[in-house]
Amino acid sequence: MTAALPRAVSPGDARSAISISGAWKAFDGRPALKGASLEVAYGEVHALLGENGAGKSTLMNLVCGLYAADAGRIEIDGRPFAETGPLAAARHGVGMVHQHFKLIPRFTVAENILVARAGASAPARRADAARRIAEVAQSLGFAIDPHARVGDLSVAERQRVEILRLLLLDARILILDEPTAVLTDAEADAVLGLLRRLAAEGRAVVLITHRMREVQRYADRVTVMRGGETVLAGAPCAECDQGRLADLMVGQAVHAATPRVRSADGSGQRVRLDAVEISVHRPDGTPAVDQVSLTLRAGEIVGIAGVGGNGQDALVEALYGLAPISGGTLSLDGARIEHAPIGARRARGLRIIPADRNDFALIPAFRAYENLALTEVPRGGFGFWLGLRRGRMIAEAEAAMAERAVVGGTPRTPTRLLSGGNAQKLLLARELKTAAGDASVLIAHSPTRGLDVAACQAVHQALFDLAATGGACLLVSEDLDEVMALSDRIGVMSRGRLAGPFPRAEIDRARIGALMLGHG
Amino acid sequence: MADRLTLTARQHVPPARQAAVLALGILLGLALATVVLTLSGVGPSAIIDEFVLYVFTTQSGLTQALTRAVALWLVGLAAVFALKLRFWNIGVDGQAWIGAIAASWVAIDDIGPPSIRLVLMLVAGAVGGMLWIGVPALLKLRLGVSEVVSTLMLTYVGFQAAQQLLYGPWRDPNTGFPISPVFDDPVERLARIGFGHIHQGIWIALAAALAAVALLQLSRFGFYAAAVGQSPRAARAAGIPVAATILIGVGLSGALAGLAGAVIVAGQEFRLTQHIAGDLTFSAILIALLARLTPLAVLPVGLVIAGIYVSGDALKAFYQLPLAVIQVLEAVILLSVVILDFFARYQLRLARPTVARS
């Protein structure tokens, strides 16, 4: 599980697992792939890098049978692959973990594995499935209840189930789209270490990722895509440096994020959000959030680190008003809001970016301008009851989308057709739109999950700007690098309890790691 | 290697294209219906006579279709309101029964001054339908009870309530038949407008359609309803009053269905009979879906469905075909539109993979 793991055999004498050349794919006339190519051999971990919309997922969906290429040559095991459907791909030994999970929320973990059963060696009975899930989970270094309903699991836990499913299906070619996006460093290392072992056993692993660290530590070769084309084909990772890869991805020199100018001492600033011993209980009566206290001052970004599933979802929903607070008090700018409805909290300037924007932030079927207006319409922002002013919504959306550089659609484009990064920018435009003199208090939960470098920077810059103008941000993130880079103070959640927040200068990675595991 | 057909989702389907698809789908459905009828022993020329020429070119056929359309427009709008909110109101018939009972009660017991008797009957019908759907709506909001089951079951309760009255206190004393005494003319009847049997109910239905356009397409309520229908969680997180939106929209659905029942007794039957409602629910959902939940589109679609019913009456009388044939025709038309709609949304192409070797 360290960088010193043995590398795979040299690519020259390895058997070809995936071979794609000249792949074209257009959606409604817009090309997503423009002659892309990829060569993956058995025995290697092959990193696939690229910005959002570069065509990585489209390319991989060709291999796993979800899309048919318009043109191009696709070979698996050196033989042409022209079938469609995930089952055909599974027969060829291809398995993929998608970025947007393909699990059935009402089914248990074991039932989801059974549904996905495609090969003869996959477990056929619930009890067998449960046993093997437990075995593989243990070998991955975590525990999961095979009989838990997927809908009750956190995003991080669902991601693990996806990986488990792939392994239980005995795929020989594993494709993982951002598998560690919501995992902590330790969890990510465990999963990536396992992927290395699987490659060493002779499987082929394609790792779609944005994290340079993972590319450098765990991949043998790297392919970079930009604008539907392959701009770097299978270069050995040892010969690449981070700067060059980033340049290739975006096609221009990336400027490092502007270092944040922090106020010398935030303690004198007025308190914006004040939570005192708030608790949230699950339906079964056990606490999901256990007496958490924290204070957010104007100009501050407070980070909450922690392994996913330790109460972060419940905390975020309770602060915003989606879940009832069962104990403690919550104030915003001095006014008590623990029982206030969401509308009243928003009116006082509370804003949110949830971990999954399609869960409760954006409506995929709505047009971009409708989503931008969604929260203002109930406040009468676009006309009284009769005569909703859609013309003004569209005009304002036009301006907001231009300001936040939302591309790939007009205000009338259905939001589901926007790429992840652009949809997130749309959400930022809505949640960070400030009326004069009322900088918001933002709860941001994994706001950069799955975003490319440029979109990530846009999000981070928006958070800095918010803090600089008297706003405040509670950054709940499973990405420790993000928490460390952005926060003035850092707290750690473990089993519903919060340690800290501690000033940034007084805490380091090792301490945070220990607190995440519930020590310290 | 064989050529392959591929489907690609279109990013945008313009309204003109949607309207064309709807019209084409109905035409295709009618063409297929001709096949069904020919198989049932009706000659092709008779079909064209009964279906197209009689219903849509003769005055008597057109007025019959328009009369039939009044109730269908109202229940079609009722289904539009419910389906916008993803509330499956399978109890349109039940709400229409209660609406008819409430209106008959006002008429039979001579409630209120004669000058406003008719208005009271219509209001009573709408309120009755609203209360009848209020039970499933509250059960769903409070306890999560599926509205599919509760609205459907309450339909039987509504029908049996009418039976109880017709075999009991409201049985016609003159004939002893299980139908109510006739309503007083003219204070308890919707007047004819001077074009066949068409009565003032047509203005009520058209006004309801315009009100639905204002509510669902121009007002804030329509925005709320669309948001709640698509994602109740996102609507709630945006500060939209989700429960109130559901109660109002679903209540209006029940009110429109109840109003349809009141209009049928006050405009067509002039008494409570055994034949007020029965197959309204299916037609309502069919009309709403074909109209893509657009209130104005309910009018032409409702008229076409009414025309099918009218020609069905003729087919029933002259060719002894069962009512089920009409339902088959409705289903064939729905399927045709749905299938064509698929091709409006997706692009079908012959892909010729340029494979180097095979």
What chain A residue is nearest to B348 in terms of C-alpha separation? Answer: A28
Tokens 């203002």: give the residue.
Answer: A376
The A residues from 57 to 86 touching B (CB cutoff 8 Å) are 68-73, 80, 82
Determine, for residues A387 and B219 on separate chains, whether the beta-carbon distance falls below 8 Å.
yes
Mind telling me how many Å the CA of A340 is from chain B's nearest CA? 11
**Residue B9, strand partner residues:** B346
**pLDDT number for residue A46:** 94
Enumerate residues 6+ apart whose C-beta is below 8 A from A400.
Answer: A372, A406, A429, A430, A433
Question: What pLDDT was estimated at residue B251?
Answer: 97
B19 CA to chain A: closest CA distance, Å?
A: 19
CATH class label, A255-261+268-349+439-520: alpha beta
The residue with tokens 């209840």 is A145
pLDDT at B355: 44
Amino acid at residue number A401: M
Min Cα separation B242/chain A (Å): 11
Question: Smallest Cβ distance to B239: which of A70, A73, A378?
Answer: A378
Q: Which residues, given as ranges, of chain B have pLDDT below 70?
A: 1-12, 50-51, 350-358
Indicate the Cα dihedral angle B349, B353, B354, B356, nearest 10°. Answer: -170
Please name the residue of chain B whose CA is at the shortest distance from the CA of residue A346: B239
Question: Around B272, how many Cα atoms within 13 Å sit in the side-chain half-sphere?
Answer: 32
Q: Would you say residue B153 lies in a domain?
A: yes
User: A417 contacts in B (CB within 8 Å)?
Assistant: 11
**pTM for the predicted model, two decimal places:** 0.74
Is residue B195 in a domain?
A: yes
Tell me the two tokens of residue B78: 């009722």
What is the phi/psi pair of residue A103, to 5°? -105, 155
Whether omega for the bond prior to residue A501 falls within 30 degrees of 0, making it cis, is yes
Our CA-based measurement puts residue B342 at a distance from the nearest CA of chain A, in whole angstroms, of: 15
Chain A residues close to B222, C-beta within 8 Å: 388
Q: How close does chain B come to A412, measured CA to CA in Å?
A: 9
Q: Which residues of A touch B226 (CB under 8 A)?
A: 366, 370
Interface check A392 vs B, CB under 8 A: no
B11 lies in a domain?
Answer: no
Amino acid sitting at position A243:
G
H-type alpha helices, chain B: 15-39, 44-47, 55-57, 59-84, 92-108, 117-143, 147-167, 201-213, 220-230, 232-237, 242-264, 280-290, 298-319, 323-345
Ranges of residues in chain A with a pLDDT under 50 are: 1-12, 253-258, 264, 436, 520
The CATH T-level fold of domain A15-93+171-254 is: Rossmann fold (3.40.50)
Rounded to a whole number, what is the distance in Å from the CA of A378 to chain B's nearest CA?
Answer: 6
Q: Is A105 on the interface with B (CB under 8 A)?
A: no
Contact criterion met (CB < 8 Å) for B234 and A360: yes
DSSP of B61-111: HHHHHHHHHHHHHHHHHHHHHHHHTT-----HHHHHHHHHHHHHHHHHTT-
In a domain, B251, yes or no: yes
Residue A362 near chain B (CB below 8 Å): yes
In angstroms, how far apart are the furthest CA atoms of chain B? Answer: 89
Check CB contact under 8 Å for B238 and A362.
Answer: no
Give the contacts of A194 (CB within 8 A, at least 6 positions apart). A139, A140
* Short-list A469, A467, A475, CA closest to A436: A469
pLDDT of residue A352: 92
At A304, is the secondary structure helix, strand, or coil? strand
Nearest to A483 by CA among A462, A458, A501, A465: A501
pLDDT at B332: 85
CA distance linking residue A171 with residue A77, whole number of Å: 13
Q: What pLDDT is recorded for position A9?
A: 43
A-to-B residue pairs, Cβ atoms closer than 8 angstroms: 110
Record: contact A383-B221, CB cut-off 8 A: no
Q: How many domains does chain B have?
A: 1
Q: What is the pLDDT of residue A287?
A: 83
CB contact under 8 A, B220 and A388: yes
B346 to chain A: closest CA residue: A28
Q: Which of A80, A360, A388 sits opposite B223 (nearest CB)?
A: A388
Mutate to test the interface with A, among B233, B242, B345, B346 (most CBs of A within 10 A): B233
pLDDT digits (tens, 9 = 90+) for B304-349: 889 888 887 777 777 777 777 777 877 888 788 888 878 777 777 7
Nearest to A139 by CA among A162, A158, A167, A113: A167
CB within 8 Å: A360 and B11: no
Neighbours of A283 (CB within 10 A): 7
Q: Would you say residue B209 lies in a domain?
A: yes
Q: To the nearest whole angstrom, how far is the Cα of A159 from the nearest Cα of chain B?
A: 22
Number of other CB atoms surrounding residue B272 within 10 Å:
27
Find where tokens 């996905």 sit.
A116
CB A372 within 8 A of CB A426: yes
Q: Residue B210 sits in which domain range? A: 71-293
Pairwise CB contact (< 8 Å): B353 & A27: no
Q: Where in chain A is the domain with CATH 3.40.50.300?
A: 15-93+171-254, 255-261+268-349+439-520
Instruction: Kindly state whether A322 is in contact with chain B, defined as any CB-CB distance less than 8 angstroms.
Output: yes
Residues of B in CB contact (< 8 Å) with A are 1, 4, 6, 8-12, 214, 218-224, 226-227, 230-231, 233-241, 347, 351, 353-358
Question: Which residues, numbered 16 to 35 in chain A, qualify as contacts with chain B under a Cβ-Cβ cut-off of 8 Å?
Answer: 22, 26-28, 30
Residue among A28, A383, A385 minimizing CB distance to B10: A28
Neighbouring C-beta atoms of residue B138, cutoff 10 Å: 16
Taking the CA of residue A403 and the nearest CA in chain B, the distance in Å comes to 22
Question: What are the DSSP E strand ranges found in A271-338?
Answer: 271-281, 287-297, 301-305, 327-332, 335-336
In angstroms, the separation between the Cα of residue A257 and the nearest Cα of chain B is 31
